[in-house]
Amino acid sequence: MSKEYRTMKTEIHLPYELAYGATWTRFFEGLKEMKIFGTRCKKCERVLVPARSFCPRCFVDTDQWVEVKQEGTLVAWCYTNYRYFGMPTEPPFIGALIRLDGTDVNLLHLIGGFDLGDFANAVKIVKNGMKLKAVWSEDRKGHIMDIRYFKPL
Amino acid sequence: MGRAVAIIGVGQTHHGRRMDVSYPDLVREAVLRVFEDTGLSPKDIDGVVSGTMPSMMEGIALTHFYFSEAMQAVGKPILKTETCGSTGVSIAHTAYYWVASGLADLVLAVGHEKMNEGNSQATMTTVVEPFYQRYFIAGAPGVFSMQSQMWTARYGIPEDKIRDAAAFISVTHHDSAFDNPYAHVKIKVTAEDVKTARVITYPIRLLDVCPNSDGVCAVIFASDKMAKKLGRKAAWVKGVGYRGEEYFFGDSDKVVWESAIQAARQAYDQAGIKNPRKELDVAEVYNPFTYQEMLFYECFGFCDFGTSPDLVLKGTFSRKGALPCDPSGGVLCTNPIGATGLIRVAEAAMQVTGKAGDHQVPGAKLALAHAMGGVDQFNGIMILGSKL
């Protein structure tokens, strides 16, 4: 394998337009108004967040809307400090699973509101089970990043 | 379980950074080797199954068409199976189902990936939808680190102990890779190197993580009748298991991880295995990350939840331990994703037929092969034995 042969550099750019449908549209409209919506399954009674059109376990429609609490508990987290092509979030960041109060699944989002550049310091602050609260963006577009992150209480 | 099915031969490329060959030529390298191993020729094959991770990895869609000549699939039925990281085991399952059904006697299974031609983490991020989750996943390391963090916190495993156990796994697998002629990363590392390596996604460091590999694996599955007619030493499929869970990462528990637990249980039930740690002679566990390998030991019933680091440090899962795991060096040293699960199956077949060379576990008769795919969403198992 000592000899180097030719390689070709190539790229693919494809435009997409993805449909939200009724349930996800309503969820994201809620974010614009600083509200987090879930839906409750009438069969297993779990509150699912983000809102779903059907319960993934019971396979029944979930049309009962619930505005959920903006505070919750940290379930898991990971400090990310590497980079790849097209990475949608600028590192360093802390991805986290958060159990919002009164809900029955974990929401995947970020934790922040403190110095993330100092890894040793960040790791000291973050503990499973800690209470967190949503911090909102000023400029909300109906996007998951309308919540900037969840900050420790 | 349908008809009895055996693996009668395997072929692997020399995995690594293989910019010396085009992708179809790399596929052909493994396919030639499986024909060399079995003494069969393409005309003997009834059908071909192939698969890869998302085709976006190399920027060419429907690669089973691109490789139809390299796999000698022209004029034959061809299937593609694609289940992300568990693709290789799913290919093996597909080939197994095909032969077990009685509709084919010889099926060629080929798993392939050429990760150095694309951008692996950018590709893997596209496995996640862009509405809710893509912003937080950070490729494969982010997902698996979050899961590992949750596991160590749940069972209160002290940081020092988990670092020691992860380092033990990394050192022993890197050592084992020197005994596997097809392995990619062949470097000598010390426990200190692993513990002080650069943080990728805390708590995971560089030497806890698999490489980006180019590689192909080819395996031939045969019916009972055909295996006996050919008179070759065969690895018999004793059990298969596959389970998935919900798409949203936060919907299911990733510590007491049902897809892993139930996939193993399904395969054990078919194989009649009651005590896997005692009955299995070797396991090729899908281990792209040291921490996750330990969690799999627990989900597969090799030990109780929260106890794997202690057993790792005692050497229970080392080459000379009670249940050697990944004597090939595993995924940690070689990870061409679409091939990786099938390499686990091939390695398990080599072990139970006594053909694993310098990394042979002496006298191995019963082996487990495993792979995991998606955002911790799917797990697949195949159990192979030396006897029908």
A76 located within any domain: yes
Q: Say what the pLDDT of residue A83 is.
A: 87
Q: Say what the pLDDT of residue B56 is.
A: 84
Q: Is the pLDDT of residue A2 over 70?
A: no
Which tens digit of pLDDT belongs to each residue from B127-152?
899 999 999 987 888 889 999 999 99
Contacts of A105 in chain B (CB under 8 A): 248, 250-251
Where in the sequence is the domain holding A92, given as residue range(s)? 21-152
Compute the distance between CA of residue B167 and CA of residue B175 in angstroms, rounded to an integer.
12
Q: Is the pLDDT of residue B206 over 80?
A: yes
Cβ burial, residue B68 (10 Å; 0-12/13-18/19+): middle
- Angle between helices B87-100 and B337-352 in degrees, nearest 10: 60
A40 located within any domain: yes
Q: Could you tell me the pLDDT band of residue A3, with boundaries at 50, 70 and 90?
A: low
Q: How many domains does chain A have?
A: 1
A7 located within any domain: no
Q: Could you tell me the pLDDT band of residue B251, with boundaries at 50, 70 and 90?
A: very high
> Cα distance from A108 to chain B (closest Cα, Å)?
6
Contacts of A97 in chain B (CB under 8 A): 146, 150, 249-250
Query: Which residue type is seen at B24?
Result: P
Q: Which residues contact B382 (CB under 8 A, 6 or more apart)?
A: B89, B92, B93, B96, B237, B239, B240, B267, B345, B348, B368, B369, B370
Which tens digit of pLDDT belongs to each residue from A14-68?
999 999 999 999 999 999 999 999 999 999 999 999 999 999 999 999 999 999 9
Q: Is the pLDDT of residue B155 over 60?
A: yes
Single out the residue of B356, B60, B201 nearest to residue A80, CA to CA: B201
What the block records as the tokens of B209 is 């993580």
Contact across the interface for A80 and B138, Cβ inside 8 Å: yes
Q: How far is CA B296 from CA B180, B363, B372, in A?
A: 23, 24, 10
Q: Is the pLDDT of residue B342 over 70?
A: yes
Q: Quote the DSSP letter at residue B128.
A: S
Q: Could you tell me the pLDDT band of residue A118, with boundaries at 50, 70 and 90?
A: confident
Q: Say what the pLDDT of residue A69 is.
A: 98
A6 located within any domain: no
Domain residue extents for chain B: 5-120+213-230
| Residue in chain B lying closest to A95 (CA) | B136
Compute the distance between CA of residue B280 and CA of residue B302 in angstroms, rounded to an integer.
9
Residue B138: left (phi > 0), alpha (psi -120 to 50), or beta?
A: left
Cα angle B231, B237, B242; round to 5:
155
Which tens digit of pLDDT belongs to each residue from B255-282?
999 999 999 999 999 999 999 999 999 9
| Residue in chain B lying closest to A100 (CA) | B250
Which tens digit of pLDDT belongs to each residue from B344-368?
999 999 999 999 999 999 999 999 9
Average of per-residue pLDDT values in chain B: 96
In this structure, which long-range contacts are made by residues B205-210, counting pairs with CB atoms below 8 Å and at least 24 apart in sequence? B207/B170, B207/B174, B208/B166, B208/B170, B208/B289, B208/B290, B208/B291, B209/B141, B209/B288, B209/B289, B209/B332, B210/B287, B210/B288, B210/B289, B210/B331, B210/B332, B210/B333, B210/B334, B210/B335
Percentage of chain B lying above the pLDDT 70 cut: 100
The chain B residues in contact with chain A (CB within 8 A) are: 16, 18-20, 56, 59, 119-122, 125, 130-139, 141-142, 145-147, 149-150, 153, 199-202, 246-251, 254
Contact across the interface for B132 and A108, Cβ inside 8 Å: yes
B54 vs B172, which has greater pLDDT?
B172
Which tens digit of pLDDT belongs to each residue from B74-120?
999 999 999 999 999 999 999 999 999 999 999 999 999 999 999 99
> Cα distance from A43 to chain B (closest Cα, Å)?
16
The chain A residues in contact with chain B (CB within 8 A) are: 1, 3-5, 7, 10, 12, 18, 20, 24, 48, 50, 56-57, 75-82, 84-89, 91, 93, 95-97, 105-110, 119, 123, 128, 144-145
Q: Are B345 and B381 within 8 A, CB to CB? A: no
Q: Say what the pLDDT of residue B137 is.
A: 86
Contacts of A126 in chain B (CB under 8 A): none
A106 located within any domain: yes
What the block records as the tokens of B213 is 């590999």
Partner residue opposite A75 with nearest CB, options B20, B59, B150: B150
Contact across the interface for B199 and A81, Cβ inside 8 Å: yes
CATH number of B5-120+213-230: 3.40.47.10
Strand partners, A40: A47, A64
Partner residue opposite B149 with nearest CB, options A50, A76, A107: A76
Q: Say what the pLDDT of residue B140 is.
A: 84
Q: Could you tell me the pLDDT band of residue B317, with boundaries at 50, 70 and 90?
A: very high
Beta strands in chain A (DSSP E): 37-40, 47-48, 64-67, 71-80, 93-100, 107-111, 131-136, 147-152
Beta strands in chain B (DSSP E): 5-12, 47-51, 78-80, 106-114, 199-202, 204-205, 214-223, 235-244, 282-284, 366-373, 378-385
Which tens digit of pLDDT belongs to each residue from A85-114?
888 899 999 999 999 999 999 999 999 999
Q: Say what the pLDDT of residue B80 is.
A: 96
Q: Is the pLDDT of residue B54 over 70?
A: yes
Q: Which of B115, B135, B154 to mutate to test the interface with A (most CBs of A within 10 A)?
A: B135
Phi, psi of B231 (to 5 degrees): 65, 30
Q: Is the pLDDT of residue A1 over 80?
A: no
Q: Which of A4, A6, A78, A141 to mutate to test the interface with B (most CBs of B within 10 A)?
A: A78
A11 located within any domain: no
What the block records as the tokens of B359 is 């990394």
3-state secondary structure at position B266:
helix
